[in-house]
Amino acid sequence: MAHFINDRAALVAEAVDGLVTGSGGRLARLDGDPAIRVVLRADWQADRVALVSGGGSGHEPAHAGFVGQGLLTAAVCGDVFASPSVDAVLAGILAVTGPAGCLVIIKNYAGDRLNFGLAAERARALGIGIETVTVADDVAIPGAAQPRGIAGTLLVHKVAGHAAETGRPLAEVAAAARAAAAGIKSLGIAVSGCTMPGGVAESRLAPGQAELGLGIHGEPGIERIALPPAADLGRVMAARLTEAVPGDGPLALLVNNLGGTTALEMQVLTGAVLATPLGARVRLLLGPAAAMTALDMHGASLSAMPLDAATEAALTAETEVPAWPRAVPVAPPAIRPLPERLVRQGPAAAASHDPAVARVVTAVCTALIGAEAELNALDARVGDGDTGTTFASAARAVLADLDRLPQAEPAALCRALSDRLARVAGGSSGVLMSIFFSATGSSLAGGAGWPEALTRGAERLQAHGGARPGDRTLLDALVPALAALSAGDGLAGAARAAEAGAAATARMSRAGTGRSSYLAASDLAGVEDPGAVAVARAFAALAG
């Protein structure tokens, strides 16, 4: 897989430079040894307890992205998924620690425990006041002697950061951090592994499988399951966390994107979790957001934290750090009724019958349904292959409603057609035809005749759609056809003009709008625009 990198060996150093350079002067970094990559607050005066954390890179925005007022004072960055060296951690401690001392927050992985722990001991030997707290929030492995530290670590950062920012002494900052760490429980899920920069994507899962209880370094989950619908997945994960956080007290919940999950999926999963008994206890929601990732892993994690007044104050305290997922109160969704005028649009005109109108509508719809395969084949060469389906679906919907249409009232009929097309027709073609019929109906209601009203509809279509004749769209058939009608050439003349206009699109070397506008002239050569052909088929049916 391709990546936006230069040299993998320089990846972390260059990423740190990019973060600091883009921080607006808020962050700084240590310099002097390329193996020491420490990001720190540029405004730090060492007048309060310092907070140092960090670990392997690849979890961005953690850890360096959470350096700032009310959070970390410094973050020490190792190579991807590798703990930083003892010297790097000690450099970070020495760079930010003053008389108030330093709290070092460590994720419960062997490399981090050893390197951060030894650095803390060396700092203590230099006479620096120092405390450590280890976060072990992962509940994936029941009874594990050494649960991993994963995304819940960030909540410890915020609680400790708030305590330090308000000037509390080191012992109290450490006590607050330990209490937070003791209560936080996390669980992860993923449907793919992650791709190391410059490497290839992992593929250890079969289609439809998921790993429950995986870590943040690409390691396998403790359990492979068939991926259920999001609602069921939310219940499964919430039930596991409920076992770890029993009772009925209020909670804070961090919904964390592991890096490669779409915002849509994260929102659906968040809603699913909040709909569970565990979700009913959630008073503060953080995310969904990419907070502690595992490169591009397609997955998510949940971190639940018991909430009291002090913890709530810490989690909701303002911070300048842009990556921090702000805590928001959970409330029932605000629901508003549809606008009255929209609700009244459908039944505005009663059904009426006119055999001639019914025959015309049926003929046009039948022609469009019959042309579905032809139009799709044309669109497959210049678009996404669905123009025929778009027109045919709209035609079927109109035929299904034919007896309920106000056939005897031209203006009302056009408005009804516009309403149905807007509701059932997909793609831009359906919307454009809805605009066309809406404007035509308004013009008929104002006293215009059919040729004038149809021309007005085409003008509004151009105004909203942004295309003009010659842009290789349905207008290249529609506008000549309506011009022929206005000139008194009748439906037969209009049909001939539409056919000629559609044929002319095959000779146009550029498209002015739509997906075809991204194609080269060689891809368009000899291919009629499918929308123009649809219009030609409709006028041929009218003339027939």
Active-site residue among 63, 217, 298, 464?
217
Tokens of 542: 């009218």
Per DSSP, the three-state class of 436 is helix
Tokens of 333: 């969704």
Tokens of 221: 């989950």
CA 202 to chain centre: 23
Buried b (16+ CB within 10 A) or exposed e, 63-75: bbbbbbbbbbbbb
Judge contact between 210 and 298, C-beta under 8 A. no
CA 345 to chain centre: 33
d(CA 541, CA 361): 9
Q: Which of 473, 472, 481, 429 is nearest to 454 (CA)?
A: 481
What residue ranges in 258-320 does DSSP mark as E strands? 282-289, 299-306
Q: Which of 184, 145, 176 is nearest to 159 (CA)?
A: 176
Q: Which of 51, 44, 45, 89 is nearest to 71 (CA)?
A: 51
Burial of 222 per CB tally in 10 Å (0-12, 13-18, 19+)? middle
d(CA 450, CA 48): 79
Alpha helices in 275-339 (DSSP H): 277-281, 309-316
Tokens of 289: 């957001």
Active-site annotation holds for 217:
yes
Tokens of 16: 């740190």
Residue 377 identity (one-letter amino acid): A
If you compute the radius of gyration of the chain from its CA atoms, what whole number of angstroms results?
32
Write out the catalytic residue numbers: 217
